[in-house]
Amino acid sequence: MREAFNEGLAQLIPVAHRMGVAAVELRPGLAVCRVPLEGNGNHLGTMYAGVLFTVAEVLGGALCLPSFDTGRFYPVVRDLKVDFRRPARSDVLARAELDQATIARVAAEAEEHGKAPFTLEAVLTDTGGTVVATTVGSYQLRKH
> How confident is the model at residue 45, as a pLDDT?
96
State the average pLDDT over residues 127-143.
Answer: 98
To the nearest whole number, what is the mean pLDDT of the chain?
97
Q: What is the pTM of this model?
A: 0.96
Structural domains of the chain, ranges and CATH numbers in brackets: 2-143 (3.10.129.10)
Tell me if 94 sits within 8 A of 32, measured CB to CB. Answer: yes
Share of the chain above pLDDT 70, in %: 100
pLDDT, tens only, 69-120: 999 999 999 999 999 999 999 999 999 999 999 999 999 999 999 999 999 9
